[in-house]
């Protein structure tokens, strides 16, 4: 009974969804605001959001890969907007959303080879003796793969919006929103689902 209860606790606390969503917020802000005429403002708004949402954690030495990537990426875009002539940034204007989605996908999927990025959040709500368990590791690998896959598909979708302007509402809005909703719901439900099978 004690082992069964421990396994349930491990699965239930495998990831803290709230803090994960906060880290995605700047990227979502950028995706919503960015367009060929507004990407500079979108980058600045996303940079401010990234600093505000992760400021307390940074002050306490908590460096999460997604937060740091966001701060650096949006800072670089903001500097480019100020320092480089607009005519030289046509590629940024055109592919801003594609680049940002692709970067998140690369960071998420790349973290699978080292430390799944969702595990960085999950450790905040679980005791250290859970971190190396198979249940904890498996759930965070799956959740990280889901978020990486969702942003990879969003990268493709926003690229298709450029290639097929007549369908840009679908590719820029409907598909990305559907993918985000699916990833959120999966993140909320999967730990309990896996717990039921693992116990």
CB of 100 within 8 A of CB of 30? yes
List, for residues 101-134, the tens digit of each pLDDT value. Answer: 999 999 999 999 989 999 988 888 788 888 888 8
List, for residues 74-85, the tens digit of each pLDDT value. Answer: 999 888 888 877
CB of 11 within 8 A of CB of 195? yes
pTM above 0.75, yes or no: yes
């Amino acid at each position: 009974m004690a082992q069964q209860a421990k396994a349930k606790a491990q699965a239930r606390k495998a990831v803290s969804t709230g803090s994960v969503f906060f880290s995605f917020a700047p990227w979502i802000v950028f995706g919503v605001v960015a367009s060929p005429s507004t990407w500079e403002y979108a980058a600045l708004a996303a940079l401010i959001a990234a600093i505000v949402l992760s400021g307390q954690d940074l002050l306490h030495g908590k460096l999460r890969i997604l937060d740091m990537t966001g701060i650096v990426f949006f800072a670089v875009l903001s500097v480019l907007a100020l320092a480089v002539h607009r005519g030289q940034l046509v590629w940024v204007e055109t592919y801003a959303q594609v680049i940002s989605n692709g970067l998140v996908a690369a960071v998420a999927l790349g973290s699978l080879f080292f430390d799944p990025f969702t595990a960085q959040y999950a450790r905040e709500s679980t005791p250290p003796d859970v971190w190396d368990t198979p249940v904890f590791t498996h759930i965070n690998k799956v959740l990280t793969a889901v978020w990486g896959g969702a942003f990879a598909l969003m990268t493709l979708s926003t690229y298709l919006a450029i290639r097929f302007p007549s369908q840009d509402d679908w590719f820029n809005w409907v598909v990305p929103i559907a993918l985000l909703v699916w990833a959120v719901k999966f993140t909320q439900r999967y730990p309990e689902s896996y717990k039921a099978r693992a116990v």
